[in-house]
Structure 1
Amino acid sequence: MTPTFTWRGDLTSAEVEALHAEGFDHAPLRGADWEGRLRRHSLGWVCARSADGSLTGFVNVAWDGGAHAFILDTVVAKAAHRRGVGVELIRTAAREARAAGCEWLHVDFEDKLHDFYITGCGFTPTPAGLIAL
């Protein structure tokens, strides 16, 4: 069954942390305050939920308060990979960022995700810079 996608959907820090830990291959952090961070720093986020209500996908949309929005923490449960969940997360994020008046949606990613973001989601490759802190 197709998941439902909700902009600024209800979530708990524990369920986002569990999904993030699975997707990014780390142990869940105790006390991670996803709810607080999202509400303080994000334009919004997209939740994908399966028919049973479990969180199967998530993306955070941070912003500069003006024209620029930024994709962070795109993650899909392993059981839902290759079913279009990630693409729909990004599609929903782009639509909502546009509706909020943003003119640009930025993303950075590892090389292995090039086809997902460029081919699957329609981003245009651009040069960028990074400083490890």
Structure 2
Amino acid sequence: MTITYEWRGQVDNDALNALHAEGFGGPAGRTDWRGRLERHSLGWVCARDGAELVGFVNVAWDGGVHAFVLDTVVAQRCRGHGVGTALVRAAAEGSRAAGCQWLHVDFEAHLRAFYFNACGFRATAAGLIAL
């Protein structure tokens, strides 16, 4: 397995919808990822094993110095090999190169060790309203 990573890589909607379905559960959606990313994202990172999309992370932003990690997903067969960590590292590098000073992430409790230990995030006070 040789994984390559690309900031703002080409996105195939079907492939990304299938990866999201595998990673987050449920049927593959019909999201227009290319359109969404171009409209709303600072960037994104695609991880590929050959031509196959095996990982993805989206980086939204506020148009200034804050970037936000969203939708981090790795194909089941590639988990535990550092792919997720490399995706987040590439997202941080791309965000830094774009002039951002802060990279934020929200996550479920079971992902705490991944984001804090493997990726280097630190705990902060934050708030959330469920809409």
TM-score normalised by length of structure 1: 0.96
Aligned residue for 1:11?
A: 11
- How far 1:2 sits from its partner (Å)? 2.5
3-state DSSP class of the match of 1:79?
helix
Tell me whether 1:120 sits opposite 2:118 in the alignment.
yes
**CA deviation map 1:29-77 (0-9, x unaligned):** 1x311110000000000000002x1000000000011100000000000
3-state DSSP class of the match of 1:57?
strand
Q: Which runs of 5+ in 1 are unaligned?
A: none
CA distance in 1, matches of 2:111, 2:125: 16
Moved over 4 A (4+): none
CA distance in 1, matches of 2:123, 2:81: 24
Which amino acid in the other structure matches residue 97 of structure 2? A
Which amino acid in the other structure matches residue 18 of structure 2? A
CA distance in 1, matches of 2:83, 2:114: 11
CA distance in 1, matches of 2:126, 2:64: 20
Aligned residue for 1:23?
A: 23
Give the fraction of aligned pairs with identical amino acids, expressed as a percent.
61
Count of matched residue positions in the alignment of Structure 1 and Structure 2: 131
Give the alignment's Cα RMSD to 1 decimal. 0.7
Map 1:1-133 onto structure 2 (within 5 A): 1-29=1-29, 31-51=30-50, 53-133=51-131
**CA deviation map 1:60-96 (0-9, x unaligned):** 0000111000000000000000000000000000011
TM-score normalised by length of structure 2: 0.98
3-state DSSP class of the match of 1:132?
coil
**CA deviation map 1:76-119 (0-9, x unaligned):** 00000000000000000001100000000000000000000000
CA distance in 2, matches of 1:25, 1:18: 10
